[in-house]
Amino acid sequence: MKRLAWLTGIILAVVALLFGINVALQKSAESGLKTGSNKTLTIYNWGDYVDPSLIKKFQKETGYKVDYETFDSNEAMYTKIKQGGTHYDLAVPSDYMIQKMKKAHMLVKLDHGKLTGLNNYDKRFMNQPFDRGNQYSVPYFWGTLGIVYNDKYVKAGDIKTWNDLWNPKYKNSIMLIDSSRDIMGMTLASSGESVNTKSIPELAAAKGKLDTLMPNVKAIVADEIKMYMAQDEAALAVDYSGDAAEMIAENSHLHYVVPSDGGNLWFDNIVMPKTVKNKPAAYAFLNFMSQPENAAKNAEYVGYATPNKAGKALLPKSIRDDKQWYPAEKTLSHLEVYQDLGPYWVGQYNDYFLEFKMTNR
């Protein structure tokens, strides 16, 4: 018993010691901030979403040390920043999440006087409904939701619109991304409705239409969709352009189509969360990333479409003119950006999607 008591005592002592060290460290870090000796920039971004050589270049040019942390979903990022205890200087949420964070007062307004590269950005990707006037965010990458097809099983040109997916000849050959917003959105777009609808009849009708797609659906999967498509497991997939780029890099039989009848246009923008500790470094990074040559380098590495017009011009012609990643103006004009619908409507979308998943073949 004595030994057990000792052991418990020792463990408690160690825990207390570690806690004390932690508090001391935090204090010294804070005092470091006050005296302006803070040279660290903490970036909270998606995994593998920046060219590492750019981070090195940034550190060399500015003398700041970059601490790069990653998340794998907007919701996870939101929860972590909201719960506090973090000190991210910059984060890269998607469109609807920026709106949600703005509503929750989690963002700091950007001082446009300190931003030098705003003119490099394409006007079409600025001033979006989720952040009018780009008061809180600067575009980082953008993309679309579309259809990936394998030319071994599907003829080029057979897939032009969402409705083509309902063709009975694609029985048991479509993979859907496991995301209520995207799959409900794609169905709404196929019927000419808005992907942001807040109308129960429209959603119910979309769910009914989606049920009729079930015979064609092979599986509803998450990130594994990339692996499956690269392995020829299915002929068609509904997925984001970013995932599609990764699949195509692995399997040259795959192609990506942005349906002409509407759908989702998404953005990942850089924001400054309330947890920002090093504003000068954050502005330095924003300006660094908006330089055309850096934006181009980053786009080439990540494979997504850059909103930086001057940067895009520097990209090789084969990438710049690829309709898969930079769709024609006419297609682009039909696309809609997701809005934050609030918890009630997100729940509705999800419930309908769950019901759809329960549909028997």
Partner 1 sequence: MSNKRTFSYTVPYILWLVLFVVAPVVLLIVQSFGNIYGHFTLDNYATYFSSGTYLRMTFNSVFFAFIVTVITLLISYPMAYIMSRLKNAQFWLLLVILPTWVNLLLKAYAFIGLFSKTGTVNNFLSFIGIGPHQIMFTDTSFMIVAAYIEIPFMIMPIFNSLVELDRSLINAARDLGATPWQTLTKVIIPMSMSGVKAGIQAVFIPTLSLFMITRLIGGNRVITLGTAIEEHFLVTQNWGMGSTIGVILIIAMAATMFFTRDRKKKGGRRRG
By the 8 A CB rule, do 93 and 271 touch? yes
Nearer to partner 1, 135 or 231 (CB): 231
Extract the tokens encoding 124.
């079409």
Number of residues forming the site for partner 1 (CB under 8 A): 34
Interface with partner 1 includes 253 (CB under 8 A)? no
Nearer to partner 1, 65 or 82 (CB): 82
Interface with partner 1 includes 278 (CB under 8 A)? no
Extract the tokens encoding 244.
């599609």
Nearer to partner 1, 172 or 199 (CB): 172
Nearer to partner 1, 9 or 52 (CB): 9
Single residue of 51, 69, 122, 233 touching partner 1 by CB under 8 A: 233
Extract the tokens encoding 109.
């307004």
Interface with partner 1 includes 344 (CB under 8 A)? yes
Binding mask 186-225 for partner 1 (x = CB under 8 A): --------------------------------xxxxx-x-
Interface with partner 1 includes 150 (CB under 8 A)? no
Single residue of 13, 17, 227, 328 touching partner 1 by CB under 8 A: 227
Residue 75: CB minimum distance to partner 1, A: 6
Interface with partner 1 includes 321 (CB under 8 A)? no
Nearer to partner 1, 120 or 179 (CB): 179
Residue 117: CB minimum distance to partner 1, A: 35
Residue 352: CB minimum distance to partner 1, A: 10
CA-to-CA dists, residue 224 to 192, 234, 324, angstroms: 30, 12, 21
Interface with partner 1 includes 8 (CB under 8 A)? yes
By the 8 A CB rule, do 175 and 236 touch? yes
Interface with partner 1 includes 75 (CB under 8 A)? yes
Residues linked to residue 141 through DSSP beta bridges, in sequence order: 268
- With a CB cutoff of 8 Å and minimum separation 6, the contacts of 302 are 48, 49, 50, 51, 141, 242
Nearer to partner 1, 178 or 193 (CB): 178
The gap from C-alpha 69 to its chain's centroid, in whole angstroms, comes to: 15
- With a CB cutoff of 8 Å and minimum separation 6, the contacts of 258 are 144, 146, 241, 323, 324, 327, 331, 335
Interface with partner 1 includes 61 (CB under 8 A)? no
Residue 181: CB minimum distance to partner 1, A: 8
The per-residue DSSP string of 47-88 comes to: TT-S-HHHHHHHHHHH-PEEEEEEES-HHHHHHHHHH-----
Nearer to partner 1, 96 or 121 (CB): 96
CA distance 176 to 241: 14
Q: Is the dihedral of CA 15, 21, 26, 27 positive or negative?
A: positive
By the 8 A CB rule, do 146 and 239 touch? yes
DSSP state of 131: S
By the 8 A CB rule, do 83 and 271 touch? no
Residue 219: CB minimum distance to partner 1, A: 3
Single residue of 120, 134, 137, 180 touching partner 1 by CB under 8 A: 180
Interface with partner 1 includes 313 (CB under 8 A)? no
The per-residue DSSP string of 296-317 comes to: HHHHHHH-SBP-BHHHHHTS-H
Binding mask 155-174 for partner 1 (x = CB under 8 A): -----------------x--
* Residue ranges binding partner 1 (CB under 8 A): 1, 4-5, 8, 73, 75-76, 172, 175, 178-180, 218-222, 224, 227-228, 231-233, 343-344, 346-347, 350-351, 354-355, 357-358, 361
